[in-house]
Chains A and B, each alone.
Chain A
């Protein structure tokens, strides 16, 4: 089955700096890669996703890049703000309504 590795486990940045979180996956059949933000005690919230026919996607301060050959994808947050502080999870699935496997999460702290 799919195995998703995520790094780093914790990340601390100064407000205004950029943050990058990286994930790798194992199953070449995976073609859908979402990123979720989870605040303490809350549900995972989808912040951006990318499909395998696209190499990069951007939404304001958030971007995701995908390298299908190397089986890795990354989340980039620019101009970080304290409210970006949360746990971020990457995930991968084959997009057929089947299982979605999550990475272990990255706890991002943005210091004011």
Chain B
């Protein structure tokens, strides 16, 4: 069964550095999402992406964040200047046209020191 994949599984970075988290959605899916989950807390929506543009974004998704689909398979989340409070698990998800079901990737644990 196809799955969403994410790399790296764990990223450690210094405060102020830029990070890029990568996702490969399920191949025939057209909607892509990023969520974050601070340790022990709920999953929080960041952004949704369709047809090469952002569909919706939350209040968390400020100017420090950007998303891109650089080619036909990858979907990336960039954090320009990381802060300590960006430390969290970041999940990518995707869904197919005509369905609401979102499939989550295994996540990238981001640690900002």
A: which residues have CB within 8 A of B? 1, 32, 34, 36, 42-46, 49, 51, 89, 91, 93, 95-105
| Sample (10) of A-B pairs whose CB atoms are under 8 Å apart | A43-B106, A89-B42, A93-B100, A96-B55, A97-B31, A98-B48, A99-B58, A100-B45, A102-B43, A105-B41
Q: With the chains together, A51 CA to B98 CA distance in Å?
A: 13
How many residue pairs at the A-B interface have CB separations less than 8 Å? 55
B contact residues, total (Cβ < 8 Å): 23
B3 → A minimal CB distance (Å): 9
Min CB distance A20 to B, Å, is: 19
How far is B57's CA from A100's CA once the two chains are assembled, in angstroms? 11
Given A43-B91, A44-B91, are A101 and B103 neighbors across the interface (CB < 8 Å)? no
Give the chain B neighbours of A44 by CB distance below 8 A: 43, 91, 104
Chain B residues lying within 8 Å of A101, measured Cβ to Cβ, are 45
B19-51 residues with Cβ-Cβ distance < 8 A to A are 31, 33, 41-45, 48, 50
Digit string of B82-113 for contact with A (CB within 8 Å is 1, else 0)?
A: 00000000010001000011111111000000
Chain B's closest residue to A91 (CB) is B43
**In the bound complex, CA of A32 to CA of B31 (Å):** 16
Q: Within the assembled complex, what's the spacing in Å between the Cα atoms of A34 and B35?
A: 15
In the assembled complex, which residues on chain A have CB atoms less than 8 Å from the CB atom of B45? 99-102
In the complex, residue of chain B having the shortest beta-carbon distance to the beta carbon of A49: B101
How far does the Cβ of B5 sit from chain A's closest Cβ, in whole Å? 11
> Which residues in B have their C-beta under 8 angstroms from that of A1?
58
Name the A residues within 8 Å of B95 (CB-CB).
97
Q: With A and B bound together, what is the CA distance between A38 and B48 in angstroms?
A: 21
B55 touches A98 (CB 8 A): yes
User: Which of these, B33, B43, B106, contacts A89 with CB under 8 Å?
Assistant: B43
Given the complex, which residues of A lie within 8 Å of B102, measured CB to CB? Answer: 34, 46, 100
In Å, the complex CA distance between A108 and B57 comes to 31
CB-nearest residue of chain A relative to B97?
A97
B56 on the A face (CB < 8 A): yes
Q: Within the complex, what minimum Cβ distance (angstroms) separates B32 from chain A?
A: 9
Docked Cα-Cα span, A98 to B56, in Å, equals 6
8 A-B pairs with the lowest CB-CB distances in the bound complex, closest first: A32-B100, A99-B45, A97-B31, A98-B56, A95-B100, A102-B43, A43-B104, A104-B42
